[in-house]
Structure formats: structure tokens, C-alpha cells
Amino acid sequence: PPPSRSPHHPFSPEKHCTLRRSTSYPSTANNLTTASGITMFARSFLRTARASATAVPSARHARVFSRGFSAELSSDSYTDASIDRLEANQADSFLAIGTRRLFNADHDMFRESCREFFREHVVPHHAQWEEQGHVDREVWLKAGEMGLLGVNCPEKYGGLGADILYAAIVWEEQMYAKGSPSGPGFNLHSDIVMPYLLHLGTEEQKMKYLPDMNAGKKILAIAMTEPVAGSDLQGVRTTATKSDDGKGYVLNGSKTYITNGFLSDVVVVVAKTAPEKGAHGLSLFLVETGTPGFDKGTKLKKMGLKAQDTSELFFEDCYVPAEALLGEENKGFYSLMKELPQERLQIAAECQARAEAAFEEARTWTNERIAFGKPLFDKQVRCGTLKFYRIQHDLKRHCHWHPSSGPSSSESKKAAPFAHGPFTHTSQFTQRSQGIAVVRMSNLHVLPTRRSCGINW
């Protein structure tokens, strides 16, 4: 349930609109009535938020019940400025800058820089990169120069020291660029692999690698997947045994499907230092390109993501010093479990942004394409299909999870920006929201979008 409030509090549960599920599927009229009730509640909620923006605590909550599912909605700040920002589905385009209360004016300026970068330095060259199977190194240097790498890496190591929302803008803008170019592996470099160094590396390791990585001079990759082991970390066969002199490790094994593998300068390699312990005997190592015994295979040809360099890596009696160990020995599995969730978060945000970009491309094309004397958009079936997917994208943006009592631990506080945003949700919530989209689509799309505090049906 929502946090306890005084019955007289403007956002108390007693004042929330509750729409109960009927025992049978409601008729079209009931559907419209329910949807209108949500809209009326949204208007009331907005008026209350504006009237008491200074009196209501920073975490605002509302619960809407509809067809057997409940949505908890919140914003960390309902000031006049944040209320005036449209959500993406209320704007003329999903790609419009200056939308979504999750962001502010500083984020907007950074987004404009990102959009300009991908438009000028990535899109014109992407066809060539797809043919050669990887991007040019120059684009990495340009990205580093513009501050698009290591966005939330501390400034002392050459990053911007910004929060995760700035990194999310880079993820989204790469997908928003024409064709959603997949070539540049900036996100894996900055937001999947670099955190391992930040959280596990010694100060010497950080100072040695991070400045060049943030400048685009050194490209990162992580090597987990093997020909016989993917998600099953217990199946990893690459080994790292202590050298005879006891001052280092000798790596033997192979990796495959490694993103950024061909261009990589530094690879975080997952290897077993205690094979008898299974997944709990894994360790992480920093291996530099050019290390004797470390070789790269040919670039893999794929059905998609053709400009994204993906290759095999081979380790044969590859010696690395003890200083190359990243984190503690035999603790690699626990480190992976802590860092991999951000990769899933990134994938979710990218997929949402890619879907929105595809929708806008389709909408533009159907408005420009003339058939039988009028645009395709004017055809009922085509227009209805676009409406269906528009609402699907809206639902996915606004179906999100957050702790009902607010972040309490340090870990949850780190996740707080996303806890109140469009990037995280539970699978159960997603299933329920998609069920609503299917059942109510024909009725919801006839309603105009309404400006409200997080309720945009």
C-alpha cells in the first residue's frame, strides 16, 4: 500500500481514486467510463499537486486500480517546473527534447550535445562501418573529447562525475539517431565494464587505465562467454593458474561473441582460479592487447548489429602479473552478480528508446506515403495499428516499480533515480500492464492525452 498519510493530507490513500475490477469483462461503455474516471482523477491530482507543491513531501504517491491491477505512481519532485514538463507521450514526438519529469534543463542541454554527436559523427559513416564490421577509432576519440564516455565516472579519473541519468541519455540518443546505429560500443565500455574497475580496482589500476578510457584512447571489453558456456558461469573453462614463480597467473582458454573484442585495448577476463569450486572459484583479470599469449580471432559475421565489432579471443599460456587481478581472488562470481544488473537496466532503456525511434520513423513514413490519393496514415487499419503500438510504448514508459517506503539503504539510494523513472519494472507488473493494453486498446486510444502527475493513459 502507499505510505501512511494523514486522512487530511491531500495525497492520503483515502483521497485516492479506486476503480475496482468487475466480476465479468466490462462493456465498452464501462471501459470508457473507467478510462474517463482515470482522466478525471488525473486532473484532480494535478490541481492538488500544484496547489500544495511546497507543502507536500518530496515523494508523492498515488495508486490507480483498474481491471485487477494497481499502479503506484510517484515523482521525486512536483514543483511547478517539473509539472510543466510534458511526458514523452504528451509531446508531438517521443524524441522531443525537454520532456519527462525525470529530467531537467541540464539534462536537456546534454541530450542536445549527444544528439548532435550521433547525427554528425556516427550516422553518416555507419553504412561503411557495417561493411567493415567495426567502427573507426576516430569516433571513440571524438566521443571522449565531447565527454560521452565514462559519463558517471569521477572527474579525478577523467569522467564527468554525473549521475546515471546522464549515462541513460547517451544510451537513448544512440538509439534515437537515424537507423538506431549499433556500431559504437560506448555503453558497454562506459556503463557495463568500467564500473568493474571503479568498484573493484586498486587506485593504481584506476589511475593507469581510467583516464585513457574516458578519453577514448583505450577501449574496454569484458570476456565471459565461451563456446560452451554463456549465462552458465559454472561452465567457464578458461583457467588462471598461479605461475611457477608465484608472482602472476597463466591464462588458458577461449572466449567468443565478445563485444568490442576486435578493437579492445583492455579486456576484463573471467577465468577459474579454483576449478573445483565451480562458479565460486571465478576471478577477474585485466588483460591488455599485446600481452604474449593473447590473440584475437576474426570479426564474427552476424545477422544484425553488423557494425558492432564482435570477435573471438584466445589465451594460450598468457602470463599476467598479480597486479592484473581485479578484485579478490575467487570472488569474481559475486562481483559479476553485483555489476550485471546495470547491464540489464541499460538493455531495457535501449530497447524502449529503439522502439520509440522505430515508431516515429513509421509514423513519418505513413504520413508521407500516398496510396489511392491519400496518406497511408488516413487508412483506418494503418492508423489503428500505429495507435496500438503508441499506447504499448506509453505503457512501458510508465509502468515502473519503486519501494513504497522510499529508499532506505545506500544501495537503494543509488538506484533511486531509476526507482522513480521509466527504466525499471517487475516482470509481473509488465505482464499485467500488457494485458490491459490488449483488452482496453480500442477504448483507450480514443481519449486525448492528459497532462497529469505521472498518469498518462
What is the pTM for the complete model shown?
0.70
In 145-228, DSSP assigns E strands to 220-223
Query: In this model, does residue 398 exceed pLDDT 90?
Result: no
Q: How large a percentage of the chain has pLDDT more than 90?
A: 49
Rounded CA separation 148/398 (Å): 27
Radius of gyration of the chain (CA): 25
pLDDT reported for residue 413: 41
Question: Catalytic residue among 72, 288, 329, 343, which?
Answer: 343
pLDDT interval class at 183 (50, 70, 90): very high
pLDDT score at 399 = 59
> Average of pLDDT values for 410-438?
36
Q: Taking the alpha carbons of 383, 388, 389, 390 in that order, is the dihedral positive or negative?
A: positive
**Mean pLDDT confidence for 22-37:** 35
| pLDDT tens digits, one per residue of 162-176 | 989 999 999 999 999
Tell me, what's the pLDDT at 37? 42
Residues 229, 234, 236, CA angle at the centre, nearest 5°? 45
The DSSP output letter for 376 is G
343 is catalytic: yes
pLDDT digits (tens, 9 = 90+) for 271-288: 999 999 988 999 999 999
Mean pLDDT to the nearest integer, 113-128? 95
How confident is the model at residue 21, as a pLDDT? 30
Residue 351 has which C-alpha cell? 530497447
User: Model confidence over 304-347: pLDDT tens digits?
Assistant: 899 999 999 999 999 999 999 999 999 999 999 999 888 888 89
Round to whole Å and give the CA distance between 83 and 77.
Answer: 9
- Residues whose CB is less than 8 angstroms from the CB of residue 292 and which lie 6 or more positions away in sequence, other chains included: 318, 319
